[in-house]
Amino acid sequence: MHPRSIIEILISDSRSVSRGSQFGHAAIAIDGIVYGRAHPGWDVDNILSYLNRQQTKMQRDTIGNLLTSSEDEKKIILSEIKRR
């Protein structure tokens, strides 16, 4: 049997008062680290800080969807994040 990993897709509410986030925001959490696209590049943070920032600073609600992946799939996703 192959080892499995959990990847969490985080979807945050839209913000009508924001220049760049009127349509919401999506990020991906792998091994407790969140990767989200921002204007200068990737926003990388630990999941607790990221969720706190989304709720308090950005005033957004966030929902997470858990996905099961293989270790190889997780490595491919991380490789693509670092490549871009």
Model pLDDT for residues 3-42, shown as the tens digit of each residue: 789 999 999 987 666 565 567 889 999 999 999 998 888 9
- The pTM for the full model equals 0.82
Q: How far is CA 26 from CA 2, 3, 52, in A?
A: 28, 26, 15
Furthest-apart CA atoms within the chain: distance in Å: 49
Specify the 3-state DSSP secondary structure of 16. coil
**Do residues 58 and 21 make contact, with C-beta atoms less than 8 angstroms apart?**
yes
**Do residues 75 and 61 make contact, with C-beta atoms less than 8 angstroms apart?**
no
**Do residues 8 and 69 make contact, with C-beta atoms less than 8 angstroms apart?**
no
